[in-house]
Amino acid sequence: MIDMAKVSKKNMKKETIVKKSRGMTESSAATEPRVVYDDGDDEEEHLNEENLSSEEEQEGEDGASDERKRQKLLEAISALGGKRKNKLGERSEAAVHMSEFTVNADGGGDKVDLSDLIGNIDKTQAVPNKTKNQLKTLQQNEKTIETPLSKQESERIQRNVAFHKVATEVTQWKGIIQQNQKAEQLIFPLNQEPSGPRAMETVVTCWKAQTPLEQEIFSLLSANKQPIHNPILTPVEEATLKAMSFEEAKVRRAELQKARALQSYYEAKSRRERKIKSKKYHKVLNKAKRKDFLKQFETMVKTDPAAALEELNKMELARMKERMSLKHQNSGKWAKSKAIMAKYDEGARKAMQQQLEVNKDLTQKLVTSLNNDQEEEEEEEGGNPEVIPEFVNDAEQGVDSSNPWMRGKLFESPTEREVSDTVDFTEEGPGIMVNTAEEEEDDDEEGTEEERLLREFDHRRRLRQAEEADIVAVITVEHEEENKAAGACVSVLEEEEEENKAAAACVSVLEEDEEENKAAAACVSVLEEEEEEEEELSKFKSVFQGIANTHLDAEVEKAEETADTNHVDTHLEEGLMRIRTLEDVALLSQMESVADQTPVQPLTSPTTENMLSTTKMVGKNSKRKRGIELKQVLTKESKVIQVPLALTVEDKEDSDEMLDQRGLIKEAFAGDNVISDFLKDKRKQEDVGKPKVVDLTLPGWGEWGGMGHKPSRNKRRKFRIRTVPRPPRKDQHLPSVIISEKRNSSISLHQVNSLPSPFVNHTQFESTIRSPIGRMWNTEQTVNKITNPKVVTQMGAIIEPMAKEELMKNKKQVSTGNSSGVEPIKTKPMKHTKKK
């Protein structure tokens, strides 16, 4: 070991020498490395080494093999010590490897330190300070650089990165793919050329103007931006075409349509208004308009004085015209006639006065900030019309003063007063009528207490009248409501009455709700009972309801609708409870259609209590539900009138014909009694379903038996087995229906027995099945829409795979769609119709 240490020391020395020599070489370039060794013993050593190395070559294996063995041994021992460390890749100078045989076990000498390499860098001036500093920090840094990863690992990383890149790239298509999957219709090829004539310039590209004339023409055309090839659009038009996509065009069209519709509505409205003849209406309207206008004008004065001035001028002009004209001056033919009448007729006087008021209104100057006092004076002057007959003036005075003879004034409604009053007159509600009257009284000295009293009376009377009217109105409304509501259950009420009267041996009750709507005629026929079916018949009843609703008023219709919906709802609920598979649906739909087809509508007849409660509950809104509960009406002793099962619509006009018809049917079916057959059938069915009592008593078993010896009651009770009664039949309350509760195997062959996959619940599936798609049940357009195939291909067209452009298009579309907020109506995947 000591020896080894020595050797290492020596090596160190040697290294320093080498360093020195490096410095030397740097300073003096052209010197041989061999000559550099200046220390004597070192040189000897080196020489020895040299010699050795040369000897090694010459001598052969002896020493070398020893050395190797030793090396191996050392390696093996070091390997035993612990886990093998990754050997760092080493770089060493070739000069150090003078001899591989003198290499030490620890290998310290072989390592080249950074300091060895850059030790004398401080001394050289050529190296900049910055690099020196960097090198120093590098020297201090003890860490070694990690070895590069193995090829496999690096490749794996590379692959991973590449895969993720590709995956994200490919994921961009997700939107399009999903869109295509959801699309109602896909038309292939996707990037279809638009059909129709192509633009000339696309077809003819190489043609050029040749003759000078042609050239001149084309230059002119191009200068004016006119289309060069014949029927093609100008660039501007083309640009507009391109600017508007299909969606935009659709939206624009919708807007235009809306605008047009609005316009037409407005036109219609104005036309209608123009046609209104009521003068009062127009008066009120005009006044409102004027008020509005004034309001606007006021705001306009503040915001836009110039325009306001203009308006003012206009108004002034209108006023002038009015003043110039003889309108509203009570000088016309009408006015004259009225003037004659005015002496005797209060109304005429009033009318004339109104006319004058209008005149005053129209000729009055507007009080605005813009006009001055003089004009006001003028206006006052102008206010007094010049051409007025005397009595008119009287009347006017009468208006101003409270003329006791002008009873009309007392009855004037506030609105009228408004009309007649001038601008400064404030509006008054009816509540302060008296006050206003008092004011008026104050104004005019002629007013007397009598008048006041009169007015008070009058006011009170009117109030009272109004109250009464209110009450009456309420009553009438209630009455109407009752009528409406009760209409439906009139029959029921009548039944109750009849029940109260107890009796009713009858009968066939023909009922018509004449006072109400004359719409529904309920024909109740009780059918003949045969001897053996006595108890049966008391239950049985058939209600034929003929519905002749030719002139139903709106209310009735509404009530009917509600009733109908109620009816449907109840049916649906039943369905929900019952329907499990499609077979039930089919049955149901069949039954429904049957019921729809035949006007004969069996009504449910639950027990009387039920009936009462239900009528109480439903009665108000179910108007059409009119039918007579035969159970209540009929008893066993009922006298019977036979009515054939044919539909019996009660029409008064052709009742004779109906009778004939009836007679015919009677004749035709004289032999067979359909109804009793039906009843028999039904009873048979019920009997089959009824629980049977099985008697298992054995006479003589456990007790005495013999002739005339009955088993004891106890025993009989014990051995009589009663099966559990079945749930009530569904047709229990449906007199004219037999519902078989057996499963029909022949039908079940055609029925779906498990819910198909895309559907979540059976109602969903049923609803899809229920709606027909044929043109028998749908309009042409609907059918076309429904039956559109999902994939449409063009004959003879090559369908190219999806192109990258679609992705770009889709992105663009999505962005524009988001910005405009317009949803495409039909989710076509690509907009083929879009401009190309």
Partner 1 sequence: MKVKVLSRNPDDYVRETKLDIQRVPRNYDPTLHPFEVNREYIRALNATKLERVFAKPFLTSLDGHRDGVNCMAKHTKSLSTLLSGSCDGEVKMWDLTKRECVRTLQAHEGFVRGMVVGYCGTFFYTTGDDKTIKKWKMEAPGYGEEEEPLNTILGKTVFTGLDHHRKDGVFATCGQQVDIWDEQRSTPIRSFTWGVDSFSCVRFNPVETELLASCASDRSIVLYDMRESAPLKKVIMTMRSNTLCWNPMEAYHFTCSNEDYNLYTYDMRYLKRPATVHMDHVSAVLDVDYSPTGKEFVSASFDKTIRIFLKDGGHSREVYHTKRMQHVICVKWSADNKYILSGSDEMNIRLWKANAAEKLGVLAPRERRATNYSEKLKEKYQHHPQVRRIARHRHLPKNIHHQSKELRVMRESRQRKERNVLKHSKPGSVPFVSEREKHVVTVVK
- Sequence-distant (≥ 6) Cβ neighbours of residue 294 within 8 angstroms: 366
Q: Which is nearer to partner 1, 209 or 587 (CB)?
A: 587
Contact positions with partner 1 (CB under 8 A) in 526-585: 582, 585
Nearer CB in complex with partner 1: 381/596 = 596
Question: If binding is defined by CB under 8 A, does position 309 make contact with partner 1?
Answer: no
Q: List CB contacts of 425: < 8 A, sequence separation 6 or more.
A: 418
Which of residues 230 and 781 has its CB atom nearest to partner 1 in the complex? 781
| Closer by beta carbon to partner 1, 726 or else 770 | 770
Q: Site residues for partner 1, window 176-195 (CB under 8 A)?
A: 177, 180, 186, 188
Least Å distance, CB 834 to partner 1, is: 19
Which of 274, 743, 750, 826 binds partner 1 (CB under 8 A)? It is 750
Residue 750: half-sphere exposure toward Cβ, Cα within 13 Å: 8
From candidates 779, 781, 818, 819, binder to partner 1 by CB under 8 A: 779
**Cβ contacts of residue 172 below 8 Å, gap of 6+?**
807
Q: How far is the CB of 789 from partner 1 (least distance, A)?
A: 6
Provide, rounded to whole angstroms, the least separation between the CB of residue 172 and partner 1: 8
Residue span 493-532 as binding mask against partner 1, x where in contact by CB under 8 A, dash where not: ----------------------------------------
Using rule CB under 8 A, residue 596 touches partner 1: yes
What is the C-alpha to C-alpha distance for residues 314 and 301, in angstroms, rounded to an integer? Answer: 14
**How many whole angstroms separate alpha carbon 384 and alpha carbon 400?**
14
- The residue among 169 and 656 lying less far from partner 1, judged by its C-beta, is 169
176 or 537: CB nearest partner 1 = 176
DSSP assignment, residue 545? E
Q: Is 787 in the site for partner 1 (CB under 8 A)?
A: yes
For partner 1, give the closer residue by CB, 137 or 181.
Answer: 181
788 lies in the binding site for partner 1 (CB under 8 A): yes
Quote the least distance from Cβ 602 to partner 1, whole Å.
Answer: 17
For 542, list phi and psi in degrees, rounded to 5: -130, 135
CB 559 within 8 A of CB 623: yes
354: contact with partner 1 by CB under 8 A: no
Q: Could you tell me the smallest distance in angstroms from the CB atom of residue 162 to partner 1?
A: 4
Residue 525 three-state SS: strand
C-beta of 308 vs 585, nearer to partner 1 = 585
**214 versus 800: smaller Cβ distance to partner 1:** 800
State how far the Cα of 383 lies from the Cα of 259, in Å rounded to an integer: 46
Cβ atoms within 10 Å, residue 18: 17
> Strand 509-512 to strand 720-722: parallel, antiparallel, or no bridges (unpaired)?
unpaired
Query: Which amino acid belongs to residue 118?
Result: I
DSSP state of 500: H
756 is a site residue for partner 1 (CB under 8 A): yes
Distance CA 574, CA 583 (A): 15
CA distances from 817 to 41, 181, 708 (A): 92, 20, 99
Q: What is the DSSP string of 243-270?
A: HS-HHHHHHHHHHHHHHHHHHHHHHHHH
Smaller CB separation from partner 1, 50 or 193: 193
Question: How far is residue 310's CA from residue 34's CA, in Å, rounded to a whole number?
Answer: 117
Q: Which stretch binds partner 1 (CB under 8 A): 248-256, 647-655, 667-675, 747-755?
A: 747-755
Among 593, 613, 642, 767, binds partner 1 (CB under 8 A): 593
Single out the residue of 149, 153, 172 nearest to residue 161, CA to CA: 153
CB distance 184 to 827 below 8 Å: yes
CA 584 to CA 261: how far, in whole Å?
Answer: 47
With CB under 8 A as the contact rule, the residue among 768, 815, 820, 827 that binds partner 1 is 768
- Identify the CA nearest to 423 among candidates 456, 451, 383: 383
Judged by CB under 8 A, the residue of 791, 821, 825, 826 near partner 1 is 791
Q: Does 597 bind partner 1 (CB under 8 A)?
A: yes
Check binding of 764 to partner 1 (CB under 8 A). no
Residue 465 as a binder of partner 1 (CB under 8 A): the answer is no
Query: For partner 1, which is the closer residue by CB, 310 or 800?
Result: 800
Stretch of 104-112, 241-249, 661-669, 799-807 lying at the interface with partner 1 (CB under 8 A):
799-807
183, 315, 752, 822: which one contacts partner 1 (CB under 8 A)?
Answer: 752
- CA–CA gap between residue 335 and residue 389 (Å, rounded): 10
Cα radius of gyration (the chain): 57
Q: Taking the complex as a whole, how short is the minimal distance between the CB of residue 387 and partner 1, in angstroms? A: 53
Question: Among the candidate windows 111-119, 310-318, 536-544, 774-782, which touches partner 1 by CB under 8 A?
Answer: 774-782
- Determine, following the binding rule CB under 8 A, whether residue 772 of this chain makes contact with partner 1: yes
Residue 777 near partner 1 by CB under 8 A: yes
Nearest-angstrom CA–CA distance, 638 and 628: 15
Size of the site for partner 1 (CB under 8 A): 64
For the chain, the first-to-last Cα distance in angstroms comes to 91
Region binding partner 1 by CB under 8 A among candidate stretches 358-366, 502-510, 609-617, 743-751: 743-751
- Per the document, the length of the chain is 836
Q: What is the DSSP letter of 725?
A: P
Q: Which two tokens stand for residue 371?
A: 């006009």
CB of 589 to partner 1, least distance (A): 5
Q: What is the C-alpha separation between 104 and 26, in angstroms, rounded?
A: 30
**Stretch touching partner 1 by CB under 8 A, among 333-341, 416-424, 541-549, 746-754:** 746-754
Site for partner 1, residues 120 to 179, rule: CB under 8 A: 155-156, 158-160, 162-163, 165-167, 169-171, 173, 177
Cβ proximity of 542 and 596 under 8 Å: no
| Shortest Cβ 626–partner 1 spacing (Å) | 21
d(C-alpha 391, C-alpha 342), whole Å = 8
Say if CB 528 and CB 642 are below 8 A apart.
yes
Q: Is 763 in the site for partner 1 (CB under 8 A)?
A: no
Tell me the C-alpha distance between 740 and 744, whole Å: 9
Q: Using the rule CB under 8 A, give the single segment among 105-113, 297-305, 308-316, 767-775 that binds partner 1.
A: 767-775
**Number of alpha carbons in the 13 Å side-chain half-sphere of residue 481:** 7
Strands 693-695 and 186-188, bridge-based pairing = unpaired
Instruction: Name the residue among 601, 701, 582 with its Cα closest to residue 648.
Output: 601
230 binds partner 1 (CB under 8 A): no
- By rule CB under 8 A, what string of x and - marks binding of each residue 63-92 to partner 1? ------------------------------
Q: Report the nearest approach of partner 1 to the CB of residue 561 (Å).
A: 16
CB 299 within 8 A of CB 307: no
On the CB side of 608, how many CA atoms lie within 13 Å of its CA? 11
| Of 685, 778, 809, 832, the one binding partner 1 by CB under 8 A | 778
Per the DSSP assignment, residues forming a β-bridge with 694 are: 721
Smaller CB separation from partner 1, 505 or 594: 594
Q: Given the complex with partner 1, which of 626 and 762 has the nearer CB atom? A: 762
Helix %, strand %, coil % for the chain, to 5? Answer: 60, 5, 40
Q: Could you tell me the smallest distance in angstroms from the CB atom of residue 832 to partner 1?
A: 14
Q: Which of 652, 770, 812, 835 binds partner 1 (CB under 8 A)?
A: 770
Residues at the interface with partner 1 (CB under 8 A): 155-156, 158-160, 162-163, 165-167, 169-171, 173, 177, 180, 186, 188, 582, 585-586, 589-590, 593-594, 596-597, 749-753, 756, 765, 768-770, 772-779, 783-784, 786-789, 791, 793-804
